[in-house]
Amino acid sequence: MSRTTLTRFLIEQQRNANVLPGELRLLIETVARACKTISHAVSKGALGEVLGSLDSENVQGEIQKKLDVIANELLLDANEWGGHLAAMASEEMETIHLIPNRYPKGEYLLLFDPIDGSSNIDVDLSVGTIFSVLKAPDACAGREVTEEDFLQDGRQQVAAGYAIYGPQSLLVLSVGTGVYEFTLDREVGSWVMTDADMQMPQGKCEFAINMSNRRQWSPAIRRYVDERVEGGAGPCGQDYNMRWTASMVADVHRILKRGGIFMYPYDHRNPGKAKLRLMYEANPMSYLIEQAGGAATDGFIPLMDVPATGLHQRVGVVLGDKAEVAAVVAYGKEMETA
Ligand code: P6P
């Protein structure tokens, strides 16, 4: 069977689908190459002295894992000299990262969570890298890029994807023409296509939520989850399974492959308080889920319509199976207005 590598896929997207300008192709290839290096670092574990935490906190107030910083530096170093970017932003950096004057600048903005799910690193569970690509506003041409230039809603994304470092290392991405999965062939060092034009299965009975946060949930979320826990004896009339990996990349990948719904809702006790970040977690995952035929909301409106007001803005996330997401939104409307 002839293997389609990432390079061939991107060249064919550029030639046939005419959706991939050369600089965007270079950007994706560069990110993919950095993810290979991150995969190698992750797989070393204790032998590579990459486990454990540092004494530092990131802008989120979270203790940084060694791999958080290693992966962040790898992505910055890989991307700053290529001439395809105007600037970068990362979960691990308080402010944006400008392209040094010694390098040419391009028309794209790259945002990333270098290691998502990093609490899993030290216990050998899957973690990943999430990335989102925006175009720099035309106004940037004559001036320095600012944080405000990044504050675009999710519909403005021109590409998004994630790498997942698990039993296999996978790269899942979209440039707006469907979702494609590549598996890292470690012997050759290539990303090889293993799933083309992914469409997430609908009607599957599996939900993902951190049940220990029940006290934070709105009445609508409690009702939705309680009905699924009741299963066949309850109003939804069938048994559901539950999974929670505390790694968004792993949970979303499972949903893309076998269906279900992922929820990290707003904290009902503090309006607007949430855990996941809009710009480099929720928006890129929403882009992929919608491209694969699913739905992605903050529990109320489509996630990619949520206005961007801050680089590290947090947002509620309810995404996956269209009917299940619609049920959560309907309960919110019904109970919110009750
Ligand atoms: P909790 C990982 O830290 C993360 O940002 C997501 O990857 C994951 O879905 C969530 O937080 C896990 O949060 O509260 O269950 O540990």
Half-sphere exposure of 215 (CA within 13 A, CB side): 1
Return the best residue to mutate from 217, 254, 276 for the ligand 1 pocket (most ligand atoms within 8 A of CB). Answer: 276
Q: What is the mean pLDDT of residues 42-54?
A: 86
Greater confidence (143 vs 321) lies with: 321
Report how far ligand 1's centroid is from the alpha carbon of 246 (Å). Answer: 5
Portion of the chain with pLDDT greater than 70, in percent: 99
Name the pLDDT band for 337 (thresholds 50, 70, 90).
low
From residue 126, how far is each of 38, 192, 230, 284 by CA, in Å? 13, 20, 30, 19
Give the model confidence (pLDDT) of 179-216 as tens digits. 999 999 999 999 999 999 999 999 999 999 999 999 99
Report how far ligand 1's centroid is from the alpha carbon of 84 (Å). Answer: 31
Q: What is the mean pLDDT of the chain?
A: 95
Is pLDDT above 70 for 3?
yes
Q: What is the mean pLDDT of residues 232-236?
A: 94
Q: What is the mean pLDDT of residues 30-46?
A: 96
Give the model confidence (pLDDT) of 108-158 as tens digits. 999 999 999 988 989 999 999 999 999 999 988 888 999 999 999 999 999
Strands (E), the chain: 53-57, 63-65, 85-90, 97-98, 108-116, 127-135, 159-165, 169-174, 180-185, 190-195, 206-208, 241-242, 261-264, 276-277, 295-297, 314-315, 317-320
Cβ–Cβ < 8 Å for 171, 288: no
Portion of the chain with pLDDT greater than 90, in percent: 86
What CA–CA distance (Å, rounded) separates 244 from 98? 36
Is pLDDT above 60 for 316?
yes
Return the best residue to mutate from 264, 267, 278 for the ligand 1 pocket (most ligand atoms within 8 A of CB). Answer: 264
Name the pLDDT band for 1 (thresholds 50, 70, 90).
low
Name the pLDDT band for 51 (thresholds 50, 70, 90).
confident
Q: Which two tokens stand for residue 55?
A: 């004494």
Give the model confidence (pLDDT) of 264-307 as tens digits. 999 999 988 999 999 999 999 999 999 999 999 999 999 999 99
Does the beta carbon of 202 lie inside 6 Å of ligand 1? no
Atom 10 of ligand 1: nearest residue by CA position: 246
Does the beta carbon of 117 lie inside 6 Å of ligand 1? yes
pLDDT at 322: 98
Does the beta carbon of 246 lie inside 6 Å of ligand 1? yes
What CA–CA distance (Å, rounded) separates 138 from 314? 27
Alpha helices by DSSP H, listed for 5-118, are 6-12, 22-44, 66-79
What CA–CA distance (Å, rounded) separates 88 from 306? 21
Report how far ligand 1's centroid is from the alpha carbon of 245 (Å). Answer: 8
